[in-house]
Amino acid sequence: MNQRWMILTVGAALTSVLSAGLLFGRTKDLRSSDEIHGIHAEQELDCATCHPGVAESMHGTDELRPTMDACADCHDIEDATNCKTCHQSAEPGGYPERAARVQLFPHATHLESGLVCSDCHGDDWSPVMPTMETCRECHATASGLTDCGNCHAQGEALIPETHTPGWLAFHPVEAGWNDDACSVCHTQNDCQQCHAGDNVRPRSHPIDFAFNHSVEAKASETECATCHLEADFCSSCHVAEHVLPQNHSRADWLSGRTGGRHAEEARFDLESCVACHDQGADEPVCAECHGR
């Protein structure tokens, strides 16, 4: 089992590395683009010096990688020895073709809003292509995807490049250490479409779970809410079987002019009450007694 997970982890990492190389258009002829970016940044050059047109770019299909003309503004390209500053060979070369990740991405709009290149691409020595997590810092998340159409054309396949044909095999590795990345696009219900019934690993609900689940529920309610999103999931059994919290059986639970113990508990932690009792505007359970 450990060997299998190791293979999946290495495969995921290798995919990420290869994807990064393709995204930046690196060729075997060009020196590390990290090194090149860093050297130019030390000269206090603006990104647009080498990436002309970025300030006016409104589409992800725009070619913004440095051109020979941009290099010629500072370097003597007539002298072949200068070429080897960045290239292993003085022979003419070019960038590999690549498909735009986002068809409508407006660099100009982002720059006009006050953002700088490093806000999305990272520092000068190790620039990266922004992930959806980066976009999420300003734009809506899976709970309210309203901004997608600003950059993604309708009908565009909004699938991260990590989701290769073998993605299902090693997606638990990614989700295990960074489930926030999943929540950019997926809600919890997406997981439950596959992970339900017998297809849950690790198996967190043993045979006797119904008998002692209250212990685990009290220890970590948030873990229950990972799969059981609505409070009525609990009440579907607890109401039918008349299962109540132990403190509800106290003789003084509803006694006294001050409301008894339940009033003290409600004032101390009302959230524990609403976990089971509806507080909706139509028929709040409190109003059954307090509204008389």
Q: How far is CA 110 from CA 57, 116, 222, 286, in A?
A: 10, 8, 37, 50
Of the candidates 173, 123, 129, the residue with the CA atom closest to the CA atom of residue 25: 129
List the beta bridge partners of residue 46: none
Report residue 79 as tokens.
Answer: 């002298």
Map 57-94 to HEC letters: CCCCCCCCCCCHHHHHCCCCCCCHHHHCCCECCCCCCC
List the beta bridge partners of residue 87: 30
In this prediction, residue 56 carries a pLDDT of 92
At 277 the three-state DSSP class reads coil
List the beta bridge partners of residue 51: none
* Helix, strand, coil abundance in the chain, percent, nearest 5: 45, 0, 55
Residue 286 CA to residue 258 CA, distance in Å, equals 15
Q: How far is CA 68 from CA 9, 23, 52, 254, in A?
A: 39, 19, 11, 83
In this prediction, residue 170 carries a pLDDT of 82
Q: Given the structure tokens 């609990």, which residue do they identify?
A: 234
Q: How far is CA 278 from CA 35, 244, 270, 273, in A?
A: 60, 15, 12, 9
Report residue 245 as tokens.
Answer: 């919290």
Q: Could you read off the pLDDT tens digit of each residue along the chain, which spans 292 residues?
A: 444 444 444 444 444 433 434 334 344 455 556 678 888 888 888 888 888 889 999 888 888 888 888 888 888 877 777 777 777 776 766 677 766 666 678 899 899 999 998 898 887 677 778 877 788 788 765 555 566 766 776 656 667 777 888 888 888 888 777 777 787 777 767 777 777 666 666 566 777 888 888 787 777 766 777 677 676 778 778 877 778 777 887 788 887 677 788 888 888 887 778 777 765 545 567 777 776 5
For residue 151, count CB atoms less than 10 angstroms from its CB and return exposed for 0-12, middle for 13-18, buried for 19 or more. buried
At 171 the three-state DSSP class reads helix
At 27 the three-state DSSP class reads coil
Rg (CA), the chain: 29
